[in-house]
Amino acid sequence: MVFKRKDPNPPSGWWYNTRTGEVEYGEVSRAIDLMGPYPDEATARRALEIARERTRQADREEAEWKGEDYDDEEW
């Protein structure tokens, strides 16, 4: 049997768990399932929306860099 040790320095902040869709604080689930940390619970609840906004912005910047038009309607 494997025992999970408590981290003596657990990560702080708010996290969004992509597997469960729940927001967590402090000592959290597996890192692979998490987005964050975020400064507060409300921001963590918007994690997927924030990721979409950042992806759109990166796509816009890439299109501009390539000299292409960016179609925001694709989202």
In a domain, 34, yes or no: yes
Q: What does the pLDDT look like over 39-69, one tens digit per residue? A: 999 999 999 999 999 999 999 999 999 988 8
Cβ–Cβ under 8 Å, residues 19 and 38: no
| 73 within a domain of the structure (yes/no) | no
Does 8 fall in a domain? no
Domain containing 23: what range?
A: 14-68
Is 48 a member of any domain?
yes
Per-residue pLDDT averaged across 2-26, rounded?
82
Residue 45 inside a domain? The answer is yes
What are the tens digits of pLDDT across the range 20-31?
Answer: 999 999 878 999
Q: Measuring CA to CA, which residue among 29, 31, 38, 34 is closest to residue 18?
A: 34
How many structural domains comprise the chain? 1
End-to-end CA gap in the chain: 47
